[in-house]
A and B are shown apart, each in its own frame.
Chain A
């Protein structure tokens, strides 16, 4: 299994056609006095621009991460695109070399998946990377005394308690706000939701409950995406979840460990990727993971949320989601992975009774030209039972991935339904137009997200070939 950089992927990464055009001009090997690789997914080079000093460009083939020293405000810039292009098309040879200092520096700063490279393993042997604080302390002339360490721990505990108090206050405010909304009635909630949700979201941000704040601030957008008659019930579902999260957080000491961890993440306590990767108690699964779908949306906090849905190629067809957040202001677009790719990787899952969100702990390679998805073996009925089980374990679960065979898409009363035996799941209205061709393909295998009310089809194996939601 190789590390895949394809022209399709490069094209999707490019912010516009002009970037690709500019990159094409840099494909001449003469423009690149240096082109090197470390043999484990890292390539770098120097591109001669108009100035005296060439631009330094580094690209990780594993996840198409990149860095260039040019001042361009396009991401990726033409130099990064050109380097990828040269690699994908084999336009010029890359000599093998150890990563120079500037490449190592970039590698140590970024948070991408670790590859099976000699360098990171060597680093790992040396122990965890010191934090900035630790580095500062190291550079201080005075060595740390046990009292200093105890003081630092006490300060950390005080900060933590302070945040807990703030969050508790925020949750109480949110519950009161929800109760007020119910008293006024949700039938007219869409008329007042924009200012009301905005005010509450700001208070939740002040209360350090970022996860809840995001849920509340995204609510108006979700409401206005739906038809007017459906908005009150959508509001009721969203507010119910927020209320449940708040209640669960308030009683977290009584919850099982995994559920407690989950609800803390839902509130806004982040689990860093480093912490996740270094804790051996978290669920890890190694194997081949097929990229089933990628989606991205801009959140109200101006972060682009990129979802990559994976399905294991093994018997259990386990599902996982990789979440990445990129500032919109950075201008970067596109996703790191392409539908249909198969990743040879070890995933570590964030703690949850329904572990779905994962992080790539070790990425051994990507197969881009794999055979198309052959479809699911499970039936829709069993997949819905799985969802019910997940819902029972984590009542605020949002979208649950299912893959089922023997599904037919049928229409009734202007709506589309995914049907199998006596089950007919309504397809999300925003996906109906795309799913309409599936009505003519007969029985299909579908990979979709189910939220208890609507099915969002993301991919399907059909007699007419692979179908993907755009």
Chain B
């Protein structure tokens, strides 16, 4: 009997297929012994294990997709595993997002050996990290980000992640709006709705009447979010009827009054629609209406200069917020800074709550200019919660200028509630140049509050100083 025959019999049961010892394996084994089957099985298993396993007739051809990005520094690997694996360590909190963003922005890629252990982190941030998820690996070209090299240009931008694409278009719009529009025009139909919204928002830079035809062609997009973004841009186009009607609507809601005994001064209050009960609803309305008009046009309509309008509205938080939103949309950083520093230091919070993309602030440079203008260097801590800082990081998608980051860290250190989250957000917002000092500050705090923030700082420091692996 061959080993296969013996094993076949014991699989089916020797009650059904009795084993009759025969052949070389059965030497010395008699039928009817109490352990005949066991002995034959042991010999068959032993014989089989000595045979080398049969090699497959052919192997799959592995398609190597070269990724030119360097692997993250060796020192980062264990820290990253500690941050996002293991009990209680989230893969989608701010620390994980900050690491993903910084790995991507510095042009690193994760070590291939870590991908299995980091699978949850990779799945959550695949788009940011530029990694094809295993499910997409079967050849879904639209999500294949592997071939994007560190320098994105017109030839390869379409292969980049949605965030990089939007940033590229926004930057290109500053120098050559027509070329950027042409690129978007060819690519837009291949993108999914969230990416289409990003690209449309990115066109806010350098918006002009030349974009009208293209934007109007997009106003019939299937996705409501795209339609909304297109409507926002159309309303912002200069010399449009929509913009003029918007100004008239806003002026009709402004109530002027003159106060003062010796020197009369004008005060303006904005009457918001009565159905807007929450601040979020009010901010959304203000962003929608003020975001599509120019502050100068509005001031002209009420017979004032922009400065006079701001002064007249200094007691009306809604009007100031609206003017700040208008300044954001038209990238009037001077006006925004004046409003923030003189009258409404918390206006950055309201912008973040509405969403910077509502004002077409997509590119990193736009966001940098925005925060420089919108956030005073000295922040007020009253009413500020850790989630505000988290929202700020999510809006910025990366570090902020040093002076602002220092102010945020100072604020986070004073927070009594959920300080751990605030410190993590502060570290995520800190630029590389400030990171060592921030890490030293954390080292002096109780470890309970700083474990995750400290680990994040360690990772970001090492990502900055990192050396590539072979």
Contacts and interface: CB of A to CB of B under 8 A. Distances in A.
Contacts of B115: 437
Given A21-B451, A463-B470, A464-B470, A185 B15 contact: yes
Contact of B60 (A391, A412, A426): A412
Contacts of B74: 465
The 6 A-B pairs at the shortest CB distance, nearest first, are namely: A185-B13, A452-B49, A424-B55, A412-B56, A24-B447, A240-B45
A183 B37 contact: yes
Contacts of B82: 11
Interface in A234-254: 236-237, 239-240, 243-244, 247
A173 to B, nearest CB: 12
Nearest to A184: B13
Contacts of A423: 52, 55
Interface of B: 7, 10-16, 34-35, 37-39, 41-42, 45-46, 49-50, 52-53, 55-56, 58-60, 62, 64, 71, 74, 78, 82, 86-89, 111-113, 115-117, 446-448, 451, 469-470
Contacts of A184: 13, 15
Contacts of A244: 42
Per DSSP, chain A at the interface is: helix
A422 interface: yes
B7 A233 contact: yes
Given A179-B34, A182-B38, A465-B469, A417 B14 contact: no
A465 B447 contact: no
Interface of A: 8, 11, 16-17, 20-21, 24-25, 175-176, 178-179, 182-187, 232-233, 236-237, 239-240, 243-244, 247, 384, 388, 391, 395, 410-413, 415, 417, 419, 422-426, 433-434, 436-437, 439-441, 452-453, 463-465, 467, 470
12 contacts: A8-B78, A185-B12, A240-B42, A240-B46, A243-B35, A410-B59, A411-B59, A417-B55, A417-B56, A437-B115, A440-B112, A470-B116
Nearest to B451: A21
B17 to A, nearest CB: 9
Given A17-B88, A24-B447, A465-B113, A439 B11 contact: no
A412 B59 contact: yes
A176 B33 CA distance: 12
A232 B13 CA distance: 11
A182 B34 CA distance: 12
Nearest to A392: B50
Nearest to B449: A21
A175 B111 CA distance: 51
B187 to A, nearest CB: 30
B378 to A, nearest CB: 32
A384 B41 CA distance: 23
A17 B452 CA distance: 10
A438 B42 CA distance: 35
A243 B38 contact: yes
A9 B37 CA distance: 50
Given A8-B78, A232-B11, A239 B41 contact: yes
Contacts of B52: 384, 423, 425
A419 B60 CA distance: 13
B41 A240 contact: yes
Contacts of A17: 86-89, 451
B49 A391 contact: yes
